[in-house]
Amino acid sequence: STAVQASAALPGLFPPVEIQGRYYVDGALIKTLHASVALRDGAELVLCVNPLVPFDSELAERRDHKSRHSVNHLVEGGLPVVLSQTFRAIIHSRMKVGMDRYRHLHPGVDVVLFEPTRDDADMFFANVFSYSSRKKLCEHAYQRTRQDLYRRRHELAPILERHGISLNLAVLRDHERSLLTHEEGIPQGSTERALEIALEDLGHWLKQKRGA
pLDDT of residue 188: 47
pLDDT of residue 190: 53
Among 27-41, 88-102, 114-128, 139-153, the range scoring the smallest mean pLDDT is: 27-41
Mean pLDDT (the chain) is: 81
* pLDDT value at 47 more than 90: yes
Say how far apart CA 70 and CA 8 lie, in whole Å.
Answer: 27
55: Cα separation from own chain's centroid: 12
Say how far apart CA 134 and CA 129 lie, in whole Å.
Answer: 8
pTM flag (> 0.75): no
Distances (CA, A) of 128 to 137, 199, 202: 8, 10, 11
pLDDT of residue 59: 82
pLDDT band at residue 69, thresholds of 50, 70 and 90?
low
More confident residue, 166 or 137: 166
pLDDT band at residue 6, thresholds of 50, 70 and 90?
confident
